[in-house]
């Protein structure tokens, strides 16, 4: 049974019990629809309280039904039936009332909620818009301005704010159902309020719509749903509720069938599956009460910040006082910047730093549950660090390396208790980037691996298990992506055309702009090291640029030229001349052909990574690309895209 009814005198209490999120599945909709009819006919019932079982009201429509045609009764029909019921329905909300859950509450005649309740219309994150009246009833209750922020810009209203806006009739304390029952009894003596659908709606001036269009279009960065939600809000405001409802439904059904929504739903489920890999079910994580970070450079400081943001005390170890001071200053600057952005209070920023102990010696690490090494990308330096850690840390302390390219088995060589060693590959800036590649060595015991995934959950990161290969999953695909981009340059395609195509596809920047920002010398040195090992690596256009001193923005120019103090890339005749010996006659390729070539290259490398068992699933590879390399979410990832191409 996913919907239950209990009777309290003249009040019927209807509870949606459909764990884990009380999604409005077909079964729930069917039972609710039958209940409206039955309770209308039940002469003993004078009012109905509708609530959710467990910690929330309703998490939304059942997204798992989206791959199929809508099954009746539809949610709009159910909501309309409740709105037209013979007796008042009072929504009683604790926790989340999201998407269809908020729309269901809108169809009720009155609403009570706790202050901590959360109301949102997150449909745009799934590439759709509210499809059951959210863009039509909500503005008629709280005004168009705030409704736009909720439906098209991911604004969440807590119970208090919802009450201020008139969406909630009364804020109540737990026990929620008792409070709702009392409210319902009181309300019986008062006339029913005008349903939201029949309330007037003041339409803003055209300039207000234009301003919203500009604002939402900028934030959407190519995703289509936010502006379509605004379109539905505007149409309903200018053409009335009924027309607005029909138009909203048409847009919803169109987007529900779109590739963009399929991609975003795919990522939604992949992100929720990532922290709980099948192979770790039932394996308990080890304690994570304290952590050490070795190396207070770019990565070490970011990792320390991420740990502190999760409330984990940190010992930050550097090689000398000066380097330590520099690291602590950089760490403090991160929290100071967050305070200035108002994402941290003064007190929270200070507390973050209070939880950091700086040290040059390793003694302070003796009690740590976890120590993450983030020193120079040099095997000898890393080995030396782990030799000390092996002596100083507890035998059960988890020791992790943040190496980008070195084989973690080589780093762990000679380490006592290697079963507690693991690779934790963070991405820069580590306090921001969500991806965490988790790289066990053969000796890593399951509890340590499970703790890596638990650490990711604590840090709010997306964990992906990677096998050991050069570059693990992400940097290996990145190398292939860059090689294919340079192959197109050798074919005569201008770097600026390639970058423009990839920006049009949705990347923040193209492969050559990105190389100029990160530095061409990093991959150049990588290729030189491989050549020194005797590997046959052909000369690349990038090599010619680096040999001529063009290492990117840090040397004033790389693939592009830059005006002094300016990061805007300018196509460079000097660069074109330098790479000319390796470049064919100018070749114009259409942007979609450029995109296809690069996505195919990534997908081919991804398939090889799967075949070699380096990644566990195509969606893991897509999570790496989306959360580590800025692959545009609305396309799902290279593996998702290639799976949708006609074979």
CB 14 within 8 A of CB 38: no
The one catalytic residue among 103, 181, 231, 447: 103
Nearer to ligand T1G, 513 or 622 (CB): 622
Nearer to ligand NAD, 50 or 372 (CB): 372
Helix (H) or strand (E) holding 305: helix 298-309
Which positions touch ligand NAD (CB under 6 A)?
Answer: 294-300, 317-319, 323, 374-377, 381, 385, 402-404, 426-428
Residue 543 has φ and ψ, to the nearest 5°, of -60, -45
Identify what 123 binds: ligand T1G, ligand NAD, none; CB under 5 to 8 Å per kind. ligand T1G
**CB 389, min distance to ligand NAD, A:** 10
The one catalytic residue among 123, 318, 373, 486: 123
**CB 121, min distance to ligand NAD, A:** 36
Give CA–CA dist 301/374, Å, rounded: 9
Nearer to ligand NAD, 232 or 400 (CB): 400
Nearer to ligand T1G, 147 or 314 (CB): 147
Which positions touch ligand T1G (CB under 6 A)?
Answer: 20-21, 23, 59-64, 75, 96, 98-100, 103, 122-123, 126, 128, 130-132, 134, 269, 272-273
Query: Is 123 labeled as catalytic in the residue annotation?
Result: yes
**Which conformational region is residue 157 in: left (phi greater than 0), alpha (psi within -120 to 50 degrees), or beta?**
beta
Nearer to ligand NAD, 427 or 631 (CB): 427
**CB 637, min distance to ligand NAD, A:** 20
CB 423 within 8 A of CB 436: no
**Which conformational region is residue 241 in: left (phi greater than 0), alpha (psi within -120 to 50 degrees), or beta?**
alpha
Identify what 130 binds: ligand T1G, ligand NAD, none; CB under 5 to 8 Å per kind. ligand T1G
Tokens of 197: 């659908």
Identify what 435 binds: ligand NAD, ligand T1G, none; CB under 5 to 8 Å per kind. none
**CB 131, min distance to ligand T1G, A:** 4
Angle between helix axes 298-309 and 346-354 (nearest 10 degrees) is 110
CB 640 within 8 A of CB 260: no
Maximal C-alpha separation, the chain = 90
Tokens of 248: 């909203």
**CB 133, min distance to ligand T1G, A:** 8
Residue with tokens 């008792």, as numbered in its chain = 178
Identify what 298 binds: ligand NAD, ligand T1G, none; CB under 5 to 8 Å per kind. ligand NAD
Identify what 402 binds: ligand T1G, ligand NAD, none; CB under 5 to 8 Å per kind. ligand NAD
**CB 248, min distance to ligand T1G, A:** 9
Give CA–CA dist 414/423, Å, rounded: 16
**CB 518, min distance to ligand NAD, A:** 8
Identify what 134 binds: ligand NAD, ligand T1G, none; CB under 5 to 8 Å per kind. ligand T1G
CB 456 within 8 A of CB 438: yes
Nearer to ligand T1G, 66 or 405 (CB): 66
Nearer to ligand T1G, 25 or 388 (CB): 25
DSSP state of 58: B
Instruction: From residue 422, give the alpha-carbon distance in Å to each of 63, 399, 442, 483.
Output: 36, 7, 10, 30
Nearer to ligand T1G, 60 or 390 (CB): 60
Query: Is 528 labeled as catalytic in the residue annotation?
Result: no
CB 153 within 8 A of CB 128: no
Give CA–CA dist 230/135, Å, rounded: 8
In sequence order, the 6+-apart residues with CB closer than 8 A to the CB of 576 are 583
Nearest CA to 221 out of 497, 626, 504, 567 is that of: 504
**CB 103, min distance to ligand T1G, A:** 6
**CB 66, min distance to ligand NAD, A:** 36
Identify what 264 binds: ligand NAD, ligand T1G, none; CB under 5 to 8 Å per kind. none
Give CA–CA dist 68/223, Å, rounded: 23
Look at strands 118-120 and 96-98 and give their pairing: parallel
Identify what 100 binds: ligand T1G, ligand NAD, none; CB under 5 to 8 Å per kind. ligand T1G
Nearer to ligand T1G, 67 or 166 (CB): 67
Residue with tokens 């001193």, as numbered in its chain = 549
Triad 433, 449, 300: Cα angle to 5°: 40
Identify what 20 binds: ligand T1G, ligand NAD, none; CB under 5 to 8 Å per kind. ligand T1G
Nearest CA to 505 out of 389, 631, 629 is that of: 631
Residue nearest ligand NAD, CB atom distance? 297
Tokens of 481: 């992506």
Active site residues: 103, 123
């Amino acid at each position: 049974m996913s919907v239950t009814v209990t009777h309290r005198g003249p009040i019927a209490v209807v509870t949606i019990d459909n764990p884990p999120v009380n999604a409005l599945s077909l079964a729930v909709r069917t039972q609710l629809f039958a209940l409206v009819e039955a309770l209308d006919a039940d002469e003993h019932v004078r009012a109905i309280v509708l609530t959710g079982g467990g910690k929330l009201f309703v998490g939304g429509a059942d997204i798992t039904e989206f791959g199929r045609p809508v099954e009746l009764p539809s949610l709009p029909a159910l909501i309309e039936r409740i709105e037209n019921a013979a007796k008042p329905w009072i929504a009683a909300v604790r926790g989340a009332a999201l998407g269809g859950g908020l729309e269901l509450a809108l169809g009720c005649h009155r609403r009570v909620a706790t202050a901590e309740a959360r109301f949102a219309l997150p449909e745009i994150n799934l590439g759709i818009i509210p499809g059951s009246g959210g863009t039509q009833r909500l503005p008629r209750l709280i005004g168009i301005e705030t409704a736009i922020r909720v439906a098209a810009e991911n604004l969440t209203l807590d119970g208090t704010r919802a009450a201020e806006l008139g969406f909630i009739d009364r804020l109540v304390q737990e026990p929620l159902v008792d409070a709702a029952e009392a409210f319902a009894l009181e309300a019986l003596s008062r006339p029913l309020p005008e349903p939201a659908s029949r309330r007037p709606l003041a339409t803003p001036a055209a300039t207000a719509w234009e301003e919203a269009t500009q604002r939402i279009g900028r934030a959407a960065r190519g995703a289509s749903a936010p502006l379509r939600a605004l379109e539905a809000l505007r149409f309903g405001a200018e053409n009335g509720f009924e027309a607005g409802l029909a138009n909203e439904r048409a847009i919803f059904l169109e987007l529900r069938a779109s590739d963009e929504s399929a991609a975003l739903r795919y990522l939604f489920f992949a992100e929720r599956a990532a922290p709980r890999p099948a192979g770790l079910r039932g394996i308990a994580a080890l304690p994570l009460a304290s952590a050490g970070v070795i190396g207070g450079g770019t990565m070490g400081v970011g990792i320390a910040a991420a740990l502190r943001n999760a409330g984990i005390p940190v010992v930050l170890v550097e090689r000398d006082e000066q380097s330590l001071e520099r690291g602590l200053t950089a760490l403090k600057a991160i929290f100071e910047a967050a305070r200035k952005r108002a994402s941290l209070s003064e007190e929270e920023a200070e507390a973050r730093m209070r939880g950091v102990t700086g040290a040059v010696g390793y003694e302070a690490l003796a009690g740590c549950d976890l120590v993450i090494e983030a020193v120079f990308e040099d095997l000898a330096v890393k080995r030396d660090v782990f030799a000390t850690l092996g002596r100083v840390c507890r035998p059960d302390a988890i020791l992790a390396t943040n190496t980008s390219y070195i084989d973690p088995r080589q780093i762990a060589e000679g380490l006592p208790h290697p079963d507690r060693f693991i690779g934790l590959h963070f991405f820069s800036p580590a306090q921001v980037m969500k991806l965490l590649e988790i790289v066990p060595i053969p000796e890593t015991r399951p509890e340590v691996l499970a703790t890596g995934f638990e650490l990711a959950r604590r840090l709010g990161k997306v964990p992906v298990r990677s096998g050991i290969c050069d570059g693990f999953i992400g940097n290996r695909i990145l190398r292939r992506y860059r090689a294919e981009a340079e192959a197109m340059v050798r074919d005569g395609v201008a770097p600026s055309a390639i970058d423009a195509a990839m920006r049009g596809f949705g990347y923040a920047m193209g492969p050559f702009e990105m190389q100029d920002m990160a530095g061409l010398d990093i991959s150049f040195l990588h290729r030189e090291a491989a050549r020194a090992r005797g590997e046959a690596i052909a000369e690349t256009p990038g090599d010619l640029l680096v040999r001529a001193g063009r290492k990117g923005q840090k040397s004033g120019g790389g693939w592009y030229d830059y005006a002094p103090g300016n990061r805007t890339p300018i196509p460079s005749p000097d660069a074109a001349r330098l790479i000319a010996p390796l470049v064919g006659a100018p070749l114009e390729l259409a942007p979609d052909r450029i995109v296809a070539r690069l996505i195919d290259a990534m997908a081919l490398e991804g398939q090889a990574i799967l075949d070699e068992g380096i990644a566990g699933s195509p969606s893991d590879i897509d999570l790496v690309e989306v959360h580590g390399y800025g692959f545009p979410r609305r396309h799902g990832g290279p593996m998702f895209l290639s799976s949708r191409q006609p074979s």
